[in-house]
Amino acid sequence: MSEEHPNAALTRRVFAAFGRDPKAIAAAFSRDIVWRVPGNTVMSGEYHGRVEVMEFLRRTGLETGGTYRSRLHTVFADDDWAVAIYRAMGTRNGVELDVEQALVIRCADGFWQEVTAVPLDSAFERFWS
């Protein structure tokens, strides 16, 4: 059996730390990370740098009263990219979220450099609107 690619292992570590260890998450991000969320919702936009991205991730918890969580399904990775397919769940303003999503991640020097969220269900937009 072959060993997992380092960018896949990095992505698994970030997901494992989500909601538990913000320092471990921040350590996986390059200083100048860019995180993009498409659409026209309270969470949509482009976030720059570790501080801004960590605040964005913290807001997912605040906006959902601490109910937002994710469960990683699979990761595909090579030397430059990782793609994480996961299930996002939570409750916001009485609305339930339970959708499949993807993160398309550009990796560089052992860090996440750029992340683009890719909702795979229109429920994402309704939930965050």
Q: How far is CA 71 from the centre of its chain?
A: 11
pLDDT (tens digit, 9 = 90+) per residue, 106-126?
999 999 999 999 988 787 777
pTM for the full predicted model: 0.92
Alpha helices in the chain (DSSP H): 6-17, 22-27, 49-63, 123-128
Are the C-beta atoms of residues 43 and 129 closer than 8 Å to each other? no
Predicted local confidence at residue 125, as pLDDT:
77
Domain residue extents for the chain: 6-128
pLDDT (tens digit, 9 = 90+) per residue, 19-29?
899 999 999 99
Whether domain 6-128 has CATH 3.30.470.10: no
